[in-house]
Every structure is written in structure tokens, then in C-alpha cells.
Structure 1
Amino acid sequence: MADNSKERLPHLLIKKLASTDTYTRPQKAIVLPGMQLPQRDRQFHAQQLLNQIEQVKTQQTTIIQEQKAFGLDVNNGIYLAFESEPDFELKFSSLEFQPSGIELCTVKGADHKTIATVFVPEGKLSHFLKKISQYQEENTPKNNPKHKELVESIAGIKLAALDALWTDAPESLPNIDESIWWEVWLRHSDNIDYESFLREHAPQLEMRVGKESIRFLDRTVVLVYGTKEQMSRSIHLLGSIAELRKAKDTADFFTGMDRQDQHNWISQTLKQLTPPSNASPYICILDTGVNEQHPLLIPVADSPDMHTYTPVWGTDDRNGHGTAMAGLSAYGDLTEVLASALPIQLTHRIESVKITPYPGFHEDKRLYGAITRESITRVEIEPNRQRIYCMAVSATDDRDRGRPSSWSAAVDALASGYDDEQQRLIILSAGNTAQAFRHMYPNNNLADEVHDPGQSWNALTVGGYTEKVWLDSVEYPGWLPIAPLGDLSPSSCTSMDWQKTWPIKPDIVMEAGNMAIDPIYGNADYIDDALQLLTTGHKFLLDKQLVSFGDTSAAAALAAHLAAKVQTHYPEYWPETIRALMVHSAKWTDAMKTRFAPFNTKDQYRQLLRYCGYGVPDEETLFWSSRNELTLIAQDALQPYFKDKSTVKTRDINLHSLPWPTEVLRDLPANTRVEMKVTLSYFIEPNPGSRGWVNKYRYASHGLRFDVRRSLESLEQFKQRINQLARDEEYNSQAQPESGEWKLGEKLRSLGSIHSDTWHGSAAELAERGYIAVYPVLGWWKERANLDRWGKQARYTLIVSIKTPGVETDIYTPVEIKNQSVISLAV
């Protein structure tokens, strides 16, 4: 519970921008091993691969003839599959050669092998023949065979079938004559519009193309309906496809369960309300529509702000999910609001875009990344509003396992402003576990993964926890709540089984309600409304006006409610800043920590993060500083890279000289334990094609990291430690040891595009740490120079909090004075 006795002081927004210097990442004093290659007989292996290419040449002739007979005189070519030996790497990055139009399409693993699929234009097989021949006959100056790593990593080369472009699980590939909706990822060309090309020729192949498309930097995604046989033929005839996945089904929406008659509460609550101003921020709900004439929604929602993706759907909510989301987004849990006799000041307004049809409406499969993008465009017809977007629609299948999808990448592009330079805060639900298995709590949560598009790097993904553990034991004898107080909700998905390199999801958790166990049958049930939240019902004219609601949809709506209140309170804060504050203020409950304690290793923290993110936002910490708990916020930018002749290099490092309470900290007893928390938040531009997500194919456009001066370092030593270019000839490579302890550590906190960690140490050590550097690491902006994004600026928010728990001292005032003096000088 929040300590309301503390003096509430606003967070301090640092007006002084960081000093910028040229940055080169220090070289680490380790030598990375080369690729592990299988033993090869040089002559035999080369001849074997040359024979395979000669065999492909014969097949190519037939395919090119078919393409020209089909009427195509451009884009002729074939797909080759390059395989590694089992349990050995494949040097797939060397398979692409853009000057010849040779393009790496997909990289995937199967049967312990790596398989890379490459499009080779007509007449360009000679590129590989030449490399293999040079390997066979020529040596490098160091007397190694030319192209050794590439050629020896290849076990075989063959004409690629449809399976090679399929990047979902092999077992989900349909039968030969089964018609499905395919998610087709098209290649990019400056000379050919592959989407138009596909739409023009699909009827000849008796295939149907969906209405929507999503464009990324070098991929376009469309939906195509047809059989496996038709798709196989289209691959060879059209030569425009880079990757295939199965189109996603959207999740069933959780609607209100038992309804309580609370009509008299509503009329009383309406008398206590002060509506928000028209200049207030908006929460845009992307859902099933909103019935805005509900008595509790009239003060916050106007009919012109209700939109729909397809006019025939209408804007009204026939499902109930969107209206329930609106009530929680506007008020929070109405159980608390309606029970209060205090005045209620509403802080934000509601917009809606209906992105799913009403129940029973049948139409073609939809590409939800494109729908999300277009729906956001609809509301931004009103351009001058501050908005927070909230979406609890998700796809239930778990084949992505944290990998980017077309939907999650579209969310990342929208948040980053990839197309229009407009950054956006998008809040997503983590998705719900299968209800039939919730009695297996928490093992079901550990196995059920965050749903698409919740793996988005830039979105704030919200899972669920619960404090609702009371139920009526008289009415429901023998029933027991599933989740204990403060632990994960039975509905909340996790990222426990994702690869260790994928971002932490969910980011935070909010109240999502609870369920109970049937004492007779042992199954999970929503038996008692006391275990759920209360919100607005869509059938308010004919049925109950208030309904119970829960699961991660409710959690996402509560997070949007909280974020909009922050935006109202601090209107100058960027979307990156609000996301950062939500994570920065979050805390793990005792129940969450107990599940993974004792924290003897960083891996236990990793499991905790993948279970519940950074925890539950603490509202006092979110909104306020106090005399002995200070939060500093810097909103800044740097240019991560620049081009030096033909090479893209790292460019900027920003050094933040923070207004630090040095004197106050020094005056405290030297062994006084203090805390510093640092959070860095930025939005990346996505590169979602399945080509390994390493090297130039990595997903993120750029990465940023932070480092804090150590207590025994001089400023010059700090600069030299983190920046190669700052080092002089007398630099001592033995860096000063880190004092105190970081909770997560550099490796664990560096995942994704939000990095948060807490340091504990003595006041004397913290007094000397008032400098924080923000610098770039690798991304596709750097490694794909031909796309000309290397000169872009990257915005970021840096949040630093200092706490002196248990010590009555004022660290806020001296920092406020220092910050004000900087502002005065700037004016």
C-alpha cells in the first residue's frame, strides 16, 4: 500500500541536454573463435557441390521455360536451399550478393541443421560456381582455401521446395490439396512492385489475395488463399516470395460473465464526476467497438470519435469486450469507483476503432497488422491529440515463441514512427492461457506463451496478477481461489520458454482477476464475481449496466488508464518516457519473488522477469518523487551511426552530467545503504523477415545501452573505459572495479528496447556516480548501409531514481536547485 504520509513532489525533467562525443566501442581483450567447421576433403567436397550446382542448372532451364510460357519476362529465377551438416553452423550471411540480385530469403533450423533459402536470378548461378571453384583451386595470402568458411559450412545445395520457405513449425504445413490462408512475405525491389505483380497473376493460379498488405523496409506481407499445390507452383512461377507462414486466427474475446445489478450506484457516481477537458489525452481502444451511450461513458466518449475499420461492421459493440475495455480504461475498476463517496476528476477521454466484426459475420481472413495500422490512421484524422493506444485482441497460437510476426512488427513500426516520424505508446495484452487448463496453475502459465502481437519490442505488453482472493465460502463451500494473493493471475501468459536473447515480456502486470477451483470436479471457474473486476456492460439498455470482467484484457485496460493519467499529469512526456516510467515504477510482490527465491543466480531473476516482467507499477513512485526518493528524467537523442566513405560506423555517445545530490550523500554515514535505479527506453524500427536476426539481418534498427560512472573512477577514466576514441596512450586497461551490486547485470538488462536495473550500495559510493553514458550498439541501420537509414537520429528517455530508504534526508531540494539553475542559464 502506498505511503500517503510522504510529501508528493513532481519528478524532475532535466532540461540540460547531454554532451555528445564521437563513439567507438572499446575492443574487448578476447579473441572470438572462428566457425566450427566439419572436416572436409577439399577436392572431394568442392567437386560434390559443383556437381549439385550443375544438376540445379539443368532444372533451372526447365523452370525458366515454364516462367516464360506463363507470360513472365521479368523476375525469372529459382530458389536454392543451402544446408549445413547437423550441429554445425552455416555461413548464411555470405550467400547473399545484392549486385547480382541474389537474395537471402529465409534461415531456419530443422533436424539440427541450418537451412538457408536463396533466390537466384536467371544466369546468376555462376556466382556460386565461381566461389566453389576458387575454394577448390585458390588460396588466400594466409594459405587457406578461398571462401573456406562459406564452402565448408555447406553440406548440400538443391532446388528449394515450398517447405524451405515455410518458417512456421513443419507440422503446421497443410496437406497438398488443403486450402488455407497463407501469410506471404514478398521480396522487395526498386524495379518491380511484387505486390501488384502477385495480385495480377494470382487469378491465373486460381488463388485469392487478401485486401490488406503491410510494408516493411524490404518485405511486403499479404494474405493469399489457396492449396499447397497452388502455392508451390506460384513460388516457381512468380519468383517474388521470400517467406511463407500460416495466417493467424484471432482470439475469442472474454466477455462479461455474471452481471450484478448496480444501477443505483451509477446515478450516484455521475453526480460526483467532473468530466475531462477536451484538451485531455485520449485512450484509443482497438477492439470490438464501444457503445458510447452507456451512462458512465457519455462523460468521456463522443459519437464522432467512434470509428470502424470496415463500414459494414458499424461502430457499435455487439460482443461486449470493447465496451468493457472502455469502462476500465476510463475509470479503472468500477468496484472501487462506485463504492467511493469522494469527488471523481476524470483525466482523459476515450476513442474507439472497431477492428473485428460482430459475432457471426463471415468474411475472408484478415491481415491484422494492416488493420491495426489503418485503424490508427483513422483516429489520427484528428492530429493534435495526445493518444495512448490499447489493444487486447491477440492470436492464440503459440508458434512464434517470441519471434517477430507481421502483426508484432507492424506494431513496432507504428510505435517507432517508421513511416511518419510519429512515435506512439501502444499497450497490448499478453494474451490469456487456455481456460480448460487453468486448474494446473501455475504450470499452465509457465507453458502458455505470450500471444501475438504481444512480443512487440516497442509496445508495453501487460500481463495479469491478482489481489482478488476473497470469495463467498457460504455460497460456494469448498471452493478455493486458484492464485494466491499478489501472484500471477491464472489467465496470464509468460515468456518462460522463449530464447534467452528475446525481449522480456510481459513488461508489467496489472490486476486481471482470479478464478476458483471446483471442489468436486477440480476444474477452474469464474464462480464468484468478487474475483473479477467491474466495468461497463454493452447491453445497458436492456440488461445490466455493470458486468464482471477480467483476464489480461482487463489488465491492459488498467495499464492504459494509468498511462493516460501520467500523460495528463506530465503532458510534456514522450511515449518512450511514459513506457519507461511504467516499468521503472514497477515492483515485484512477495508472492512473485517467493516463487523463484532465493536469488542466488542471475538466471533466477531471468525466470522472474519472464514470469511477470518488472512487476506491478507503484502509483506513488509512478507519479511522484519525495524528499528522500528522487526521480530524474532526461528526454534526449543521438545519432547512432554515420557513413565514413563506404563504411557505416558508430557515431555518438551521450554523457549525462546529472544534477546529483553529492554533498547530501557524502554527509550521510558512509555505510548508509542507498538505491539507484536506471531505466533506458527507446523505440526500434523493425526488420521482421526470418533470416536469422543476426548480423545485417538483425531485427532492431539500432540498440542503445547505458553505463554509470563507478565510484572510484575519475570522469576521464569513465570516458576512457566506455569509449575507444577517448583513450589516450597511457590508458590503463585495468578498469576500476564496480562497487555495490546491480540486481540484473548488464547481460540480462540488455534485452529488447527497454533496459532497467537497480544498483544497491553505500551512500559514499553513490555520491561519486553522477554521470551516465548512453551509447549505440549494432543494428540494421548500421549493417545495411544500402537502405540509407544510417543517418537517422534515435530518441530515448533516461530515468534515474535515487532512494535513501529509512533515512530522513532531503536529496530532492539540492537537485531541484541545480536543475533550475541550468534552466535559468538556458533561458
Structure 2
Amino acid sequence: MRIDRLRQTRAFKGQGVNIKDKFKRENRAEFGQRLLDQIVMAFGQADVEKTLLGVTEQLGKTGAYISVDRPAKLPHEKLQQKSYGVLVGAVTEMLRRTDADTLERVSYFVPDDMRESLKEQIKQYRDSEGANKPNAVHKRFDEVEAIAFNGLAGLWTSPDPLPGNDEVGWFELWLRRKAKKDAPDAEAYLDRRKDALGLHLSQEKLKFPEFVVRFIRATGGSLRRLVRELNVYVAEVRPARIDASVFTTVRSDGVAPIEWVEDAVRRLGAAPEGPYVTLHDTGVNRAHPMLRPLLDESDMHARAQSWSTDDHDGHGTNMAGIAAFGDLQFRLQDQDPIRPTHRLESYKMLPPNGHNPPETWGLVVRDAMSDLDVASPHRERVHCCTVTAQSSLTGLATTWSAAIDAATSGACEIEEIGPRRLWLQAVGNILPHEWSANEDLRDHPIEDPAQAWNALSVGGYTERTQISEPTMRGWEVAARTGDRSPYSRASLAWDRSQAPQKPEVVFEAGNWAKDPAGGFVSGIDSLSMLTTGRDVINRPLECTEMTSPAAARAAGFAAEILSANPGLWPETVRALMVHSADWTPEMRRRLGGRPTKEHCASMIRQFGFGVPDRARALASTTNDLALLAESEIKPFRRIRSRNEETGAETSRIGLNEAHYYTLPWPRNILEEHFKEQVSLKVTLSWFVVTLPPSKPSV
């Protein structure tokens, strides 16, 4: 029974509560002098640490965190002075004497220009022994137990031990969000300093009303220096727990997976009109609450009407979640609104029973383009295919890859001149049972149709290096942070004179767990990604891995670029993704000191051009500037000539034209830094038409 209509609203005024400070510090003169000595020592230790760490720059006002031990019942604002830059950081429980009497340690950031003021306040407290009534300094310092400088320990909010200086691990940095537009940007600073400090910065993040959480992999020494450089803009530091497995089962506190989904749906914003990620897969279960707002019934297609458009396998629904949201574990822990940048479209290319005959795979692509263009002819799409086959492992064109090249270049046989299309293709997987201790990537070439010249072929790398399953204590991970995912194939065995360089880019594909004896490997939840599941009732959230989710995430990435820059050519979106990519520190470690051209070529055939960076791909003018040019060119022409003696006509192919650009160089700035070494990165992206090798190539 609802009683909403029986409600009355009336004015209300509180009764007021008279709270008296019962605690009085005995011998304030002696205690005040002790606090003064402690804070002077703390400031001195902070300065010594800054020198030892080699910190020469700090973000915003210079200063340091000072730890204060005090009863937990007191409000933190008693010592916080926001208007003067004294802000609360981490809070940790130190000692529980009784349920009502707990001692906690609170870290306060103290700007250097507030040091003398704080010392003066403590002196006033020390010299106020004879005051008749409690005053402001009494309330501020009476119940303080101790003051100290604890460095990183003061911001560490985990029962786990602090990392040693040479110990490497994943950490959470809780950064304060910008309160004003002109305030320093901690995220931009972190991105700028990551290489100099040897950090691996995950592109994933969590957002809360006052904080943004970034995940970094660093040594304890680099972490300590970074914390001092970030200054007041880092509020807490914790060991990172990047683990999708906690969302797939009912937690100890009773929270079920569907409750995570329901919370995410409440934060899910309205879907835009476009662009679309078109999933060529097993169909999608549109009944999933997180997918329904992004996937209209009219955007569900199947190659055969008898198949239905629903997901008969679960793979397509898994990929839909990754394409729409990325790794869901970050979205589910977040408190920010979820703002979709694109919609979904599904083309069921696999039958519910059996398989498509290999000779029809090219026809499947042709039919998909025809069906989709008839349904919505002017739609901006990012095509994503996570289906591969071992029908061809040579890198040469097949009917399947040639059909993709034709579809992307607009040269489908059913059209004279069709629209150009963006196609993202998974490279295929190495399965755990195929693993060998003497692994040779030449034995695992990229699968058909990822050799398509025009497709953006997506391989896998991994940042998943923490095993959390209790039953696997002592197990190791197969790949180090930033290395090639053990699932991902390579094109090292291809004939380089005839086959393209693949993959072009890599995205997260998960990792393997390896038993201590080294004889068995397995994919596990904590080394995987989290996504939407087909079984909404029993398993609304599932873990996924391999190059399929890598390609799906890449498709979502491409759609984000299109959403921010509507009307970009498919070639341009592909170029921006490749242009923004870079090798991770672990990939670069494989290069060694003086890599040869041959070594670099082999690297590209494993890692592509690296991991794309979202900010760079979106052409941020804050840190990275990308200059775009879209144009058509005819670099060659047919030159005809006549033999004056015989009158016979002949022809040959010659050069035709070139395009030149006068770039808007900031000449005055470059002249000021004439001794600096700079690099110019140029990425050219164009589509070609190919035919299987049994037919003439064009």
C-alpha cells in the first residue's frame, strides 16, 4: 500500500544540542612543548626525505603530509584549514582501546607557507595554561596524541606492508579532482611524468565525486617520489586489486551480481543517436538491462531468418558489454554517471547449429554489408568481427579477407562505388592446451581473415598480473605487465614480401596462470575482464579473455573517436588509433639498447604499433596535438606514347602527383629550444583492393 498522497509538508526547526568539551589536557605547557618539538622534527624529516628522493618539482603549492594521532570520535575539520591549504588525506585506525575509544591516524597536507603559522598556533596553545575558558587552540590540540612525518606510510590505507624501494607492484592513487578549471591537473602531471619515473599507467580509472583513482605499476621507490611530487593532489595510496572475479559470485556481505548491474543501470545515461559498433558474432541477448538501452530491436540482424537474432552461444553478449563499456569491473566500482558515447548493432553471422562452410565466408561479409546498408544506409558504423579460422595461416589473401578488403574500400561486387567502412578484426587465439615451455610464435600465426589489408587487426597485451584465487597460491603469471598476452597470435611466420604487418594495435586480452612446476597453464577470472553475460538471471556478469574482447574494446575505442569527431573517414579513425599507439616499457625492454630494423619489424609483427592512448587519439590540444588531413590522391597515371616509325601505341605507369602541406610550426618556440631533439610522427592510412592469390591482384 502506497501512502504518498497522505504526506504533509510542514516547516521544521531543530531543537539544538549542547555539546560540551569534557576532555581537558593536564599541563598544557609541557604537552604543548612536546607537540612543538614533534612538528618541528616532522617538518625537518619531510625536507630530508624530499632531498633524498631527488624531488625537484611538486604539483601546486610545495608542502608535505604530516600525520596526527587523535581520537576517532573527533571531526577531522578541527585541524583542517581549507582556506589555507591544510587538507585531510588518508585516515587509518591505529588502536581500538574500546568500541567508544579508538585512536586513528589522520594525514594533513601542510603547505610550506603554513609551517610557521601552525607552529605559532601550538605556541599559543602551550602558553595558554592559565586561560579561564577553553578557546580555539584548546579545542584544536587538547586531544591530539602525537604529530609525526610518516611519508608514504601516512597515506597508505591497507593492512598490507609497504613496498620496499625495489619491490614492484600495482597501486591505486586516489587523486583529488580539480575543484577549479585553472587548478593543476594531477592526471595530466601523472601522464607527463610516467616515463621519467618508470611507471606503467593503466588507462582504466575510477571516478568518485571528489576523487579519481588511477592504477600504476611502480617500484616502491618510484611510488614514494611520485607521492611527494603529486603533493596535496594525492590523498590516499593502496595496493591495487584489479580483479574481475569478485563480481561474478555472491559476496560475503550478500551483494549479488545482479545488484551490481542494477546500480550501473541507475547511473546509465541516455544513449546517443550514433555512431554504432556493429558486432559480427553469435547475436546478442538484448534482454540484458545494461545492453537494452543501447541496442534497439530493429538493430538486431541475422544472416538467415530461421536463426533468430538472439545469442545462442553467449560470446556475442560478452563482446557487446566490452564494446559498450570496456572492462566492467571499473564501471561497477565507479560512482560517476555512465555516459555512453555510441550505440550497438548486431549481425548474427554464425548459425545456431553447425558452421558456415569455408567457401561461403566471403559471401557472409558481402551479405552483411548488403543487409545492414538496406536497414540503415547512412549510419556511421565501426564493424567488429571476433570470429577467425585456421583455414589460412600464411598471411595471403583468401576469399574471406578479400571480401573484407572489398567491403572496406567500397569495392563490393554488388556495388559500383560503395561506402568505405571501418573494420576491426581479432587476430585469433593461442589456447592454453597449445602452450609449450619452448614456445615459438612462428608456430602460432595470425588466423584468417585478420590478414585483410584494410582491416585494423587487433592483438592482445596484458596488465593482469595479480592472481587472487586462494586455490592458486604460488602460481605465476605467464606474461609480465605490459607484455604480449599469451593468448595473442603473431605474424612472424608470414612472407614479408607478400603479407601485411599484423597486428596494427594491441588491447587488453588477459593473462594465463602457470603452476609452479611450469607444466600447466590456465586462464582464470582474476586475470580476465568483466562483461555482460547471456544468462541475465543466473550469470548477468561473466569473465572474458583472449583477443575477442581486445577487438571489441578496440571497436568501442574507435566509436569514441567517431563520437567526438563525427564524419571522420574510416581511414582517419584507423590512422588516429595507430598514431596514438605506443609500446609499453616491457615491450621496449625487448628491443634492447640498439635495435636493428629487422628487430623492430619483428616487434611490430607481435605488438603492432603498441597500445593506443585515448587522449592522444582524440587529438587533445592539452598535451598532444594531432594534425589531420583527409584527401584523395592519384599518385600514378598511365602514360601513353606512339612509336613514330611503326605507329604502334604503348603505355606505361608513371608518377602523377604529390600533396605538400605547410605545417603550422610554432617557429618562435622551436627556436627557443633549438638544442632539444624532437620527433615528428606521420601516419598514412589508405585502403586497397585485394583478390585471393589464385586470381589476379589489383
Tell me whether the two structures share a fold, i.e. TM-score over 0.5.
yes
Name the aligned partner's letter for residue 533 of structure 2: G
For each residue in 1:714-746, what CA deviation from the matched residue of structure 2 results, as whole angstroms up to 9, or x when unmatched?
xxxxxxxxxxxxxxxxxxxxxxxxxxxxxxxxx
Partner residue, 2:565 = 570
Partner residue, 1:65 = none
Name the aligned partner's letter for residue 500 of structure 2: P
For each residue in 1:422-468, what CA deviation from the matched residue of structure 2 results, as whole angstroms up to 9, or x when unmatched?
10000000100133123537x25443011000001000000000001
Measured in 2, the distance between the counterparts of 1:417 and 1:320 equals 32
Partner residue, 2:333 = 339
SS at match of 1:657: coil
Q: Does 1:686 align with 2:685?
A: no
SS at match of 1:631: coil
* Bigger Rg over Cα: 2
Q: 1:663 aligns with which of 667, 672, 682?
A: 667
Partner residue, 2:368 = 375
Partner residue, 1:482 = 478
Name the aligned partner's letter for residue 379 of structure 1: L
Shift of 1:650: 3.3
For each residue in 1:116-169, what CA deviation from the matched residue of structure 2 results, as whole angstroms up to 9, or x when unmatched?
xxxxxxxxxxxxxxxxxxxxxxxxxxxxxxxxxxxxxxxxxxxxxxxxxxxxxx
Q: Does 1:588 align with 2:583?
A: yes
Q: Does 1:653 align with 2:657?
A: yes
Q: 2:397 aligns with which of 404, 416, 434?
A: 404
SS at match of 1:676: coil
Q: 2:501 aligns with which of 497, 504, 507?
A: 504
Flag the 1:558–1:440 CA change in 2: closer, same or farther, 3 A: farther
Partner residue, 2:275 = 281
Alignment of 1:598-609 (within 5 A): 598-609=593-604
Q: Which moved more, 1:617-626 or 1:425-434?
A: 617-626
Measured in 2, the distance between the counterparts of 1:447 and 1:362 equals 25
Measured in 2, the distance between the counterparts of 1:305 and 1:547 equals 24
SS at match of 1:534: strand
Alignment of 1:262-273 (within 5 A): 262-273=257-268
Partner residue, 1:469 = 465
Shift of 1:337: 0.9
Q: In structure 1, list runs of 5 or more residues that go unmatched.
A: 9-255, 692-696, 700-779, 781-827
Partner residue, 1:349 = 343
Q: Which runs of 4+ in 1 moved over 6 A?
A: none
Q: Do the aligned partners of 2:247 and 2:257 also contact (CA within 8 Å) in 1?
A: no
Q: 1:675 aligns with which of 669, 674, 679?
A: 679
Measured in 2, the distance between the counterparts of 1:3 and 1:371 equals 49
Flag the 1:500–1:3 CA change in 2: closer, same or farther, 3 A: farther
Measured in 1, the distance between the counterparts of 2:262 and 2:513 equals 32
Flag the 1:623–1:276 CA change in 2: closer, same or farther, 3 A: same
Partner residue, 2:12 = none
Q: Does 1:314 align with 2:308?
A: yes
Measured in 1, the distance between the counterparts of 2:628 and 2:356 equals 48
Q: 2:447 aligns with which of 427, 439, 451?
A: 451
Shift of 1:647: 1.6
Measured in 1, the distance between the counterparts of 2:453 and 2:483 equals 25
Measured in 1, the distance between the counterparts of 2:631 and 2:355 equals 48
Alignment of 1:43-62 (within 5 A): none
Measured in 1, the distance between the counterparts of 2:445 and 2:187 equals 37
Partner residue, 2:199 = none
Partner residue, 1:579 = 574
Shift of 1:478: 1.8
Q: 1:525 aligns with which of 522, 543, 553?
A: 522
Flag the 1:299–1:599 CA change in 2: closer, same or farther, 3 A: farther
Measured in 2, the distance between the counterparts of 1:604 and 1:521 equals 28
Name the aligned partner's letter for residue 297 of structure 1: L
Name the aligned partner's letter for residue 294 of structure 2: V
Shift of 1:499: 1.5
Shift of 1:642: 3.3
Measured in 1, the distance between the counterparts of 2:395 and 2:464 equals 30
Partner residue, 2:488 = 492
Q: 2:634 aligns with which of 614, 617, 639?
A: 639
Name the aligned partner's letter for residue 4 of structure 1: E
Shift of 1:669: 3.1
Q: 2:323 aligns with which of 315, 319, 329?
A: 329
Shift of 1:629: 3.2
Q: In structure 2, list runs of 5 or more residues that go unmatched.
A: 1-172, 174-184, 192-244, 250-255, 641-649
Shift of 1:595: 2.2
Shift of 1:497: 1.3
Shift of 1:7: 13
Partner residue, 1:201 = none
For each residue in 1:57-107, what CA deviation from the matched residue of structure 2 results, as whole angstroms up to 9, or x when unmatched?
xxxxxxxxxxxxxxxxxxxxxxxxxxxxxxxxxxxxxxxxxxxxxxxxxxx
SS at match of 2:595: coil
Alignment of 1:692-731 (within 5 A): 697=696, 699=697
Flag the 1:492–1:365 CA change in 2: closer, same or farther, 3 A: closer
Shift of 1:598: 3.1
Partner residue, 2:180 = none
Flag the 1:341–1:507 CA change in 2: closer, same or farther, 3 A: same
For each residue in 1:566-607, what CA deviation from the matched residue of structure 2 results, as whole angstroms up to 9, or x when unmatched?
000011210000000110000001111222323331111011
Partner residue, 2:553 = 558
Q: Do the aligned partners of 1:290 and 1:322 also contact (CA within 8 Å) in 2?
A: yes
Partner residue, 1:182 = none
Q: Which has the higher contact order (CA 8 A, sep 6+)?
A: 1
Measured in 1, the distance between the counterparts of 2:189 and 2:299 equals 40
Q: Does 1:296 align with 2:479?
A: no
Q: 1:4 aligns with which of 171, 187, 200?
A: 187
Shift of 1:557: 0.2
C-alpha RMSD of the superposition: 2.5
Flag the 1:598–1:667 CA change in 2: closer, same or farther, 3 A: closer
Name the aligned partner's letter for residue 433 of structure 2: A
Shift of 1:662: 4.8
Q: Do the aligned partners of 1:431 and 1:493 also contact (CA within 8 Å) in 2?
A: yes
Identity of aligned residues (%): 35
Q: Do the aligned partners of 1:402 and 1:495 also contact (CA within 8 Å) in 2?
A: yes
Measured in 2, the distance between the counterparts of 1:436 and 1:351 equals 34
Shift of 1:652: 3.2
Alignment of 1:168-179 (within 5 A): none
Shift of 1:416: 0.4
For each residue in 1:24-73, what CA deviation from the matched residue of structure 2 results, as whole angstroms up to 9, or x when unmatched?
xxxxxxxxxxxxxxxxxxxxxxxxxxxxxxxxxxxxxxxxxxxxxxxxxx
Q: Does 1:544 align with 2:539?
A: yes
SS at match of 1:427: strand
Q: 1:429 aligns with which of 426, 429, 450?
A: 426
Measured in 2, the distance between the counterparts of 1:412 and 1:4 equals 40
Flag the 1:464–1:319 CA change in 2: closer, same or farther, 3 A: same
Flag the 1:664–1:631 CA change in 2: closer, same or farther, 3 A: farther
Flag the 1:489–1:430 CA change in 2: closer, same or farther, 3 A: same
Name the aligned partner's letter for residue 565 of structure 1: E
SS at match of 1:344: coil
Measured in 1, the distance between the counterparts of 2:563 and 2:369 equals 21
Q: Counting strand residues as a fraction of each chain, which structure ranks higher?
A: 1
- Structure-1-length-normalised TM-score: 0.51
Q: Do the aligned partners of 2:409 and 2:420 also contact (CA within 8 Å) in 1?
A: yes
Shift of 1:272: 1.1
Q: Do the aligned partners of 2:247 and 2:329 also contact (CA within 8 Å) in 1?
A: no
Partner residue, 1:438 = 435
Measured in 1, the distance between the counterparts of 2:278 and 2:437 equals 35
Q: Do the aligned partners of 2:429 and 2:488 also contact (CA within 8 Å) in 1?
A: yes
